[in-house]
Amino acid sequence: MTTEELKQWLKKFDADKDGRISKEELRQAIRSAGGRFATFRSWRGLRSADANKDGYISEDELNNLVEFAQKHLGVKIIHF
């Protein structure tokens, strides 16, 4: 999976289409991927990626979430 593919996949979980990923939306993404401990991991992911501490992951913060996913969720990113 490329970085852009991961970002596009995450955006599919933006249920209210506000352009941001909430903790609940991130939890749903982790669960759909078969991740265990989705509540805890979504909390950690939000805390790690949410640079402005507004409680959401915005478009500008998606790279932070991709980095978290690589380090802590076992997501493999391929680079061309």
Beta bridge partners, 57, equal 21
The full set of domains in the chain, from first to last, is 3-72 (1.10.238.10)
27-73 pLDDT tens trace:
999 899 887 888 999 999 999 999 999 999 999 999 999 999 999 88
Distance CA 28, CA 22 (A): 10
- Asked if pLDDT for residue 76 goes beyond 80, the answer is yes
Which amino acid, residue 74? G
3-state secondary structure 6-75: HHHHHHCCCCCCCCCECHHHHHHHHHHCCCCCHHHHHHHHHHHHCCCCCCCECHHHHHHHHHHHHHHCCC
pTM exceeding 0.85: yes
